[in-house]
């Protein structure tokens, strides 16, 4: 096994245990790298004994908000968050899916009222594993791979 070639950060957030090939979706859903000036390091397709292959995202000088953690949990429900202070892990925790998800997911049902009128979306957790959420308005159940997280 070859060593990782990802440098340590002094302050910020490391998102670990992202299933392989989902790092880009996470960056898009969180809006990281668009308007903010955070330095972002993305490692993709690393070997992981826990999940086979994984991605890692490091965001310097920034801690994720609760809203951002909820968005992250929809894409990578098994992800681990490491808050880094002075090059050391100050806090480590797993993301947690909320029971209710307000205004951050687009319903895939073209007939849903949220697609026609300016009504915020609301979803309820239908199943944790495999991840499935249910639209509050039209009852459409969406599987993990089809969840459209908006930022």
The chain-wide mean pLDDT, for the chain, equals 89
The beta strand positions in the chain, using DSSP E, are 11-19, 40-48, 52-60, 80-85, 88-94, 100-102, 105-106, 122-127, 132-135, 141-143, 148-149
- Look at residue 1 in the predicted model and tell me its pLDDT: 55
pTM of the predicted protein model: 0.82
Mean pLDDT, rounded, for 93-118: 93
Predicted confidence (pLDDT) at residue 14 exceeds the cutoff of 70: yes
Domains of the chain: residue spans and CATH: 11-94 (3.30.70.140), 100-149 (2.30.30.20)
Distance, CA of 44 to chain centre: 15
Of 28-37, 81-90, 141-150, the range with the lowest mean pLDDT is 28-37
Residue with more model confidence, 89 or 45? 89
- Look at residue 47 in the predicted model and tell me its pLDDT: 81
| Angle made by CA atoms 65, 70, 72, in degrees to the nearest 5 | 95
Mean pLDDT, rounded, for 6-10: 82
């Amino acid at each position: 096994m070859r060593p990782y070639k990802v440098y340590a950060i002094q302050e910020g957030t490391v998102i670990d245990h992202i299933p392989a090939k989902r790092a880009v979706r996470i960056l898009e859903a969180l809006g990281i790298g668009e308007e903010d000036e955070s330095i972002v390091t993305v490692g993709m397709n690393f070997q992981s004994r826990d999940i086979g292959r994984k991605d890692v995202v490091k965001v310097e000088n920034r801690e994720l908000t609760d809203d951002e953690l909820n968005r992250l949990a929809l894409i990578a429900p098994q992800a681990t968050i490491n808050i880094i202070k002075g090059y050391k892990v100050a806090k480590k925790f797993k993301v947690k899916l909320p029971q209710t998800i307000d205004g951050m997911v687009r319903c895939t049902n073209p007939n849903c009222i949220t697609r026609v009128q300016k009504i915020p979306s609301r979803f309820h957790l239908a199943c944790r594993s495999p991840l499935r959420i249910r639209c509050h308005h039209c009852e459409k159940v969406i599987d993990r791979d089809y969840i459209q997280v908006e930022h």
